[in-house]
């Protein structure tokens, strides 16, 4: 089993109760660091599982079981150049050269703040490009797509795509078999 790292941001729980942290621990979030930030519950997971999807979906289930509403999963899909450098293990200067087209062609265009000095890219597009350039493994692209789609479903921006619905169904079947 591999350890998968991600963060789930939740809301809708009273943090002033004496059993606040215990509820998350009892619900199966014993592999998460719990904190409060800007009125939201932040659970930073280091979850062991066969796959990223198994880790993520079991953590989502456990957070819901503790009584929290899921707001989003991080790392966020919108990234700046520093985020890209950190996620790829490359230097900020190298990312800047890619973005300017000076090191390779067809680097994805920013999707937000295009006219400022702090553009944002879609991590799914960047990780896919990096995979095709042999800079990232395919798993990084799969994880990026999964987090983006889960967040779209959680925020109500869209119904689950067929592959996500199937993944949720397979997760429920696996849980029932345990």
Q: What is the pTM of this model?
A: 0.75
Count CA atoms within 13 Å of residue 25 on its CB side: 6
Task: Name residues of the chain where pLDDT drops below 70.
Answer: 114-116, 156-178
pLDDT of residue 115: 64
Q: Report the share of the chain in percent with pLDDT over 70.
A: 85
Cα(98)–Cα(177) distance, integer angstroms? 47
Rg (CA), the chain: 18
Cα(80)–Cα(12) distance, integer angstroms? 30
Contact criterion met (CB below 8 Å) for 3 and 54: no
pLDDT one-digit tens code per residue, 47-60: 999 989 899 989 99
Cα(54)–Cα(60) distance, integer angstroms? 10
Inter-CA distances, 136 with 73, 141, 144, Å = 21, 8, 12
Q: What is the mean pLDDT of the chain?
A: 86
Going by C-alpha positions, the residue among 32, 153, 47, 68 that lies closest to residue 167 is 153
pLDDT of residue 129: 96
pLDDT of residue 162: 59
Going by C-alpha positions, the residue among 137, 136, 171, 165 that lies closest to residue 153 is 165
pLDDT of residue 16: 83
Residue with tokens 């944002």: 120
pLDDT of residue 77: 81
């Amino acid at each position: 089993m591999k350890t998968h790292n991600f963060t789930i941001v939740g809301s809708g729980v009273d943090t002033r109760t004496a059993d606040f942290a215990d509820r998350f621990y009892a619900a199966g979030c014993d592999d998460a660091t719990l904190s409060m930030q800007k009125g939201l519950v932040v659970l930073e997971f280091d979850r062991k599982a066969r796959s990223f999807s198994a880790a993520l979906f079991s953590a989502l289930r456990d957070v819901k079981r503790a009584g929290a509403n899921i707001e989003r999963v991080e790392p966020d899909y919108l990234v700046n150049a520093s985020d890209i450098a950190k996620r790829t293990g490359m230097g900020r200067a190298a990312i800047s050269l890619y973005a300017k087209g000076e090191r390779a062609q067809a680097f994805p265009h920013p999707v937000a703040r295009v006219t400022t000095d702090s553009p944002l890219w879609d991590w799914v597009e960047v990780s896919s490009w990096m995979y095709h350039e042999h800079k990232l493994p395919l798993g990084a692209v799969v994880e990026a797509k999964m987090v983006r789609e889960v967040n779209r479903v959680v925020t109500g921006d869209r119904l689950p795509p067929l592959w996500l619905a199937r993944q949720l169904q397979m997760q429920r079947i696996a849980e029932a078999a345990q």
